[in-house]
Amino acid sequence: MKSIIRLLLQIFPRPFLIRLSLLINRIIAVFLVGNKVECPVCGGKFRKFLPYGYTKATGRDNCLCPKCLSLERHRLMWLYLQNETDFFSKNLKVLHIAPEQCFFKKFRSLSNLDYTSGDLESPIADVHFDVQEIPFEENTFDVVICNHVLEHVDSDAKAMSELYRILKPEGFAILQVPMDTENPKTEEDPSVTDPKERERLYRQKDHVRLYGLDYSDRLQAAGFVVKASQYSKEFSEEQAARYRLPMNEIFYFNQKI
Ligand SMILES: [Zn+2]
C-alpha cells in the first residue's frame, strides 16, 4: 500500500492527489452512512469510523472520521474546548503549532479567532520555526495549541519554556503528547539515535522520548499551572462510545496565571 502511495506521489502532482483523496473520502463516507458513531468536530454521523494506525501495535478499528479525519484524541480536545473553555465564543489570539488537518480550516474560519499556524516546514503553516525558539514576543497569545510535537524535540524543557513565554497571563495551552500511562517516569536517552531503537523504545522512529506520568511535572517546571483530567470519563459510557473517545488519555489544561 505504501509503495503504491509513493508511486502515485511520483506520477501525479500533489494538488491533484489532494483532490483525489478528498473525493475518495467522500465516497467512503457515503458507504459508512449511519447513526452509530458521531464526530463532534465535523458533525458527521456514521455506521462506524475507519481503522487507523502506523503499526500492528497502534493499529485499531473504528477510530478515524471519514469526513474530517479526526481521531479519538482530536474529538476529545474539541469537546474540551467546546464544553470547558470560551474558545468558540471569545475574541482570542491563537497560535496553532503543527496544525492538525481536522482542525486547521475550521479554526481559521472562526470569526472570533485571530489565528496563526506555525510549523517547522509544513507548507500550510503561516510561520516556520523551531518550537525551541519561537519568533514571537512574550505575552502574545491567549491560546497556544501544540499537540504531538514535544516527543520529537531535543530539549522539551526549552520548548515548554518558549510556549509559556509567548502565552499571555490567563492564557492557556493544549500540549498533548503520546504517553505510557503505566509508567510513572518519562523514558529518554539522548544516546539512542538509531531509528529502529527509537521505534522500539519510544513507539516511533522520530520520537526522542516516551512520556510517563511525570509529564505534568515537566510542564509545571516550565511555569504552567496544570489541570490534568481523564476527560473522556466525564461522559456517559454511551456518549463516549458514540464519539469513540480515548478512555485512557490524560488531558492537560495548562494555564499561565
Ligand atoms: Zn469528522
Mean pLDDT to the nearest integer, 81-104 = 97
Classify 92 in phi/psi space as left (phi over 0), alpha (psi -120 to 50) or beta.
Answer: beta
What pLDDT score was predicted for residue 59? Answer: 86
- For ligand 1, the distance from its centroid to the CA atom of residue 136, given in whole angstroms, is 32
Classify 152 in phi/psi space as left (phi over 0), alpha (psi -120 to 50) or beta.
Answer: alpha
Classify 140 in phi/psi space as left (phi over 0), alpha (psi -120 to 50) or beta.
Answer: alpha
What pLDDT score was predicted for residue 45? Answer: 95
Neighbours of ion ligand 1 (CB under 5 A): 39, 41-42, 44, 65, 67-68, 70
Contact 54, 204 (CB under 8 A): yes
What pLDDT score was predicted for residue 28? Answer: 80
- For ligand 1, the distance from its centroid to the CA atom of residue 110, given in whole angstroms, is 17
- For ligand 1, the distance from its centroid to the CA atom of residue 184, given in whole angstroms, is 33
- Indicate the pLDDT class of residue 5, thresholds 50, 70 and 90: low
- For ligand 1, the distance from its centroid to the CA atom of residue 24, given in whole angstroms, is 15
What pLDDT score was predicted for residue 15? Answer: 66
Whether residue 175 has pLDDT greater than 60: yes
Question: What angle (nearest 5°) sits at the alpha carbon of residue 14, between those of residues 9 and 20?
Answer: 90
CA 89, 128, 121, 158 torsion-angle sign: negative
Domains of the chain: 2-64 (no CATH), 72-255 (3.40.50.150)
Among 14-18, 53-57, 65-69, the range scoring the smallest mean pLDDT is 14-18
What pLDDT score was predicted for residue 7? Answer: 66
- For ligand 1, the distance from its centroid to the CA atom of residue 81, given in whole angstroms, is 16
Whether residue 90 has pLDDT greater than 90: yes
